Amino acid sequence: MNRAVGGDIGAVEVIHRVPGRVRLRYRCSDGPVAAQPLQRAAATLDGVTAARINPKVRALILTYDPAETDADQLRTQVAALLPSVQVKGAAPLAPPTSSGLGSSLATLLMTPLLPLPLRLPVALATAIPLLRHAFHDYAENGVTSHGLEAMAVSISLARADYTAANTTTFLLALGEHLEHSVARRSDDLLKHLLRPACTEIWVMRGDEEVLIPAAEVAVGDTVIVGTGTVIPVDGTVLAGEATVNEAAMTGESVSVEKSRGSLVLSGTLVEEGRLSIYAEQVGRRTAAARIADYVEQSLVAKSEAQLEASRLADRLVPLVLKLAGGAFAVSGDWRRAAAVLQADYSCALKLATPVAFKSAMYGAARAGILVKGATALERLAQADTFVFDKTGTLTTGLLQVTDAIAFDPTFTPDDLICLAASVEEHYFHPLAMAVVTAARATGHHRHFDHQEVQFIVAHGVASVIDGQRIVVGSRHFVQEDEGIDIAPQAELIDRLYREGKTLLFIGFGGRLLGVIALKDSLRPTTAATLRRLRDLGVRRILLLTGDHRDRAAELAEELGLDECHAELMPEDKASIIETLSAQGARIAFVGDGINDAPALAGAHVGIAMMKGADIARLTADVALLEDDIECVADAKAAANAAMDLIATNYRLTVGLNTGILSAAALGMLSPVSTAILHNGTTLGILLNALRTRPLRQDRHPPPQKTIMAG
């Protein structure tokens, strides 16, 4: 992992950046931070012209000279400053590390061999991190399970029962070590998988737009971005207009209008429009850093189940404390009190749930499914209604042009295809890509010079050629919005629809110039996937599509869907989801397009296909990493299994520990046996939580050696 010398880079995140100014948030994981010293120290960093701190929200705002430094460098430097500005005497709250694990094991094994006078200091020294941690926890949160553990260890130490004290210390260290290693391995893998998928970028070379590998973009290039794509560079808008969603950078999901002179940030999303951007900051470093931040954030966000387990654990702490007090009062035996304190519910409740989530997320990622956080997994398990988009989801999205019919004798079918392709070539819509592919196959490569192209989501594209307006898109777009008469060709159009084809209408100069028919094929695994979903407890399966209703009905029939809605605008998709949700359905929406983003965001859980538009993959809670619809059923299966496992662990924890506690309170167990039983069962539950069942097969080898088998 990315550890800067002298500081934990994870303790500082970039909240917002524009060239010359960055807003950082620091964490106090290693104890409280003194605000003024941090501000003073930050102000002296190379290139920094001003530093302002807001300790309430732990924000540090730095203004700097972009020629001398950048946001990432500053983030690293501030992380390195943190340890030096911690409030004096504050003990580290960091959990015991593996060195703690080693030393506690050594202490446990060696203490019986040591001369008597050395045993207390050694045991005490090993327990100190635990005691300090508990002390801090007490100061912040009152008595928690850490407090109980510390009390148990202290009582054992006071009673010179070093075996009991050392056993507890070691087992606690082992538990934490296990949790951290599983957390780390899943975090690393998730980061690895979330690397930006944007591999090619349009840039200007002379007067021409060319597609080049993302790695070749240099500072000073003019980058072209269109609707639905993530801006790949930081820079200034040279031309064009667009609404850009900066949620990925600022966390606020508001659209901002961008035009000539505006600053744009990489990682933000063009919702609508087209921009030429002068690239000022390029490269993987910034993008990768941001994505890592994003994943980190989504990993620390606690799910409902996790919060519930934590809350229950906290509620049970006073109960255990009273039980220990009661047992002592009745028996006058400190051993009983220590024994009871050993066995509280928190460890298993608090550890097992996150471990189960992370290990499920890890397992899913290895099977090609990126689940963005525990909440997403939880919601997926709850989903009882699956709603699918058509193109690119149920179907392959690789459409084949079957017919090109021009109604103007001066145009050959190839001309028609090349004309459409000339205006479609900048878009990644499946229809656009099919037309461009067909144009290449004609061998003519005839390019019609056109003015700027306008992309109208869920409608099509429009531009101007030789002073005449050209539109390429859906029937609704051409007929109703553009007012072009298609009646003279009604018979032909009906025939093509009856053949199960998707049609693209081309209007030129206010007349219907031609139609292009495309054939879209179902994925070979779609039917089986839908059957599996039903077996997994999904009650309703629906289809929502922007395509024509005949085509949609035919598919719904073939797949045995419960319902289908066609000719939808993006907001229609979202409002159908809303209506269904209001009726109590827990909806998983599966889609791939720009037009699916509102529905993905509005559903209980959104799932984006691998080849989907950037906006779909960003908005979704679950992003598939393989172009395979079976992953949807795999994801559902993994989520169900994880939640089952969590429920089982929950029952086990409560059952086993209640038994142990009662036995300890009745004096039937010594502190050592309580510690062994309690921690042994906790570890057992933890290991159970770690079990990742293979979903189908392991198709993504992990980037590092697996630390532990389930």
> Which spans of this chain sit near ligand ATP (rule: CB under 6 A)?
389-392, 424, 427, 429, 431-432, 458-461, 472-474, 504, 545-547, 593, 595
The residues, ordered by sequence, that sit 6+ positions from 428 with a Cβ below 8 Å of its Cβ are 228, 229, 613
For Zn ion (CB under 5 A), the number of binding residues is 1
3-state SS, 153-165, equals: HHHHHHCCCHHHH
CA atoms within 13 Å, Cβ hemisphere of 579: 6
What is the rounded distance in angstroms from the CA atom of residue 127 to the CA atom of residue 199?
51
- For residues 288 and 195, the answer to whether their CB atoms sit within 8 Å is yes
DSSP 55: G
- Residue 280 interacts, among ligand ATP, Zn ion, none and using kind-specific CB cut-offs from 5 to 8 Å, with none
CA distance 611 to 605: 19
Catalytic status, residue 389 = yes
Q: Which does 595 bind (CB under 5 to 8 A by kind): ligand ATP, Zn ion, none?
A: ligand ATP
* Of residues 156 and 595, the one with the C-beta less far from ligand ATP: 595
Three-state SS at 377: helix
Question: Nearest 5 degrees, angle CA 421-CA 423-CA 427?
Answer: 85
Q: With helix as H, strand as E and coil as C, how does 169-201 read? A: HHHHHHHHHHHHHHHHHHHHHHHHHHCCCCCEE
Q: Could you tell me the smallest distance in angstroms from the CB atom of residue 594 to ligand ATP?
A: 7
**DSSP-based three-state secondary structure for 333:** coil
Question: Minimum distance from CB of 458 to ligand ATP (Å)?
Answer: 3
Closest CB to ligand ATP among residues 187, 547 = 547
C-beta separation of 523 from 394 below 8 A:
yes
Residue with smaller CB distance to ligand ATP, 266 or 391: 391
Pick from Zn ion, ligand ATP, none: which does 389 bind, CB < 5 to 8 A by kind? Answer: ligand ATP
User: Which partner from the list ligand ATP, Zn ion, none does 649 bind, CB cut-off 5 to 8 Å by kind?
Assistant: none
Shortest Å distance, C-beta 647 to Zn ion: 47
Minimum CB–partner distance for residue 276 and ligand ATP (Å): 20
Q: How far apart are the first and last CA of the chain?
A: 23
**Residue 244, SS3 per DSSP:** strand
431 closest CA partner among 600, 547, 564, 274: 547
Cα 143 to Cα 141: distance, rounded to the nearest angstrom: 7
Give the residue at shortest CB distance from ligand ATP: 546
Whole-number Å distance between alpha carbons of 22 and 6:
22
Q: What region, left, alpha or beta, does residue 476 occupy, with left being phi > 0 and alpha being psi -120 to 50 degrees? A: alpha
Q: Which of 481, 550, 571, 627 binds Zn ion (CB under 5 A)?
A: 481
What are the backbone angles phi and psi of residue 240, rounded to the nearest 5°?
95, 170
Q: Decide the pairing of beta strands 540-544 and 511-519.
A: unpaired
List the single partner that 547 binds among ligand ATP, Zn ion, none, CB under 5 to 8 Å by kind. Answer: ligand ATP
Question: Least Å distance between CB 472 and ligand ATP?
Answer: 5
Tell me the chain's radius of gyration from C-alpha atoms: 30
d(CA 290, CA 279): 18
Point out which span in 106-114, 149-157, 379-387, 478-486 binds Zn ion (CB under 5 A). Answer: 478-486
Four-point Cα dihedral 546, 547, 553, 556, nearest 10: -60
Q: Which is nearer to Zn ion, 112 or 510 (CB)?
A: 510
**Shortest spacing between CB 477 and Zn ion, in angstroms:** 6
DSSP state, residue 33: B
Beta carbon of residue 404, minimum distance to ligand ATP (angstroms, whole number) = 14
Choose among Zn ion, ligand ATP, none what residue 390 binds, the Cβ cut-off being 5 to 8 Å by kind: ligand ATP
The residue nearest Zn ion at its CB is 481
Question: Minimum distance between the CB of residue 367 and ligand ATP, rounded to whole angstroms?
Answer: 25
Query: Closer to ligand ATP at the Cβ: 174 or 461?
Result: 461
Distance CA 92, CA 412 (A): 76
- Closest distance of CB 573 from ligand ATP, Å: 7
What is the rounded distance in angstroms from the CA atom of residue 450 to the CA atom of residue 39? 54
Pairing between β-strand 59-64 and β-strand 48-54 as defined by DSSP bridges: antiparallel
Q: Is 695 helix (H, G, I), strand (E, B) or coil?
A: coil
Q: What's the CA gap between 181 and 41, in Å, rounded?
A: 34
Binding partner at 267 among Zn ion, ligand ATP, none, C-beta below 5 to 8 Å by kind: none
Site string for Zn ion, 425-464 (x = CB under 5 A): ----------------------------------------
Q: Which is nearer to ligand ATP, 170 or 411 (CB)?
A: 411
- CB under 5 to 8 A by kind: which of Zn ion, ligand ATP, none does 386 bind? none
Partner interacting with residue 481 (select from Zn ion, ligand ATP, none; CB below 5-8 Å by kind): Zn ion
For residues 586 and 611, which CB has a smaller minimum distance to ligand ATP in the complex?
611
CB of 10 or CB of 228, closer to ligand ATP? 228
Name which of 188 and 481 has its Cβ closer to Zn ion.
481
Provide, rounded to whole angstroms, the least separation between the CB of residue 30 and ligand ATP: 49
Cα–Cα dist 434/417, whole Å = 10
Binding segment for Zn ion (CB under 5 A), chosen from 149-157, 345-353, 375-383, 476-484, is 476-484
Task: List the catalytic residue out of 389, 596, 628, 634.
Answer: 389
Residue 483 has which token pair? 């007012």
* 16 or 475: CB nearest Zn ion: 475
Give whichever of 467 and 483 is closer to Zn ion, judged by the CB atom: 483
Smallest separation (angstroms) from Zn ion to the CB of 473: 9
DSSP conformation letters of 515-578:
EEEEE--B-TTHHHHHHHHHHTT--EEEEE-SS-HHHHHHHHHHHT-SEEE-S--HHHHHHHHH
Known catalytic residues are 389
State the residues that interact with Zn ion by CB under 5 A.
481
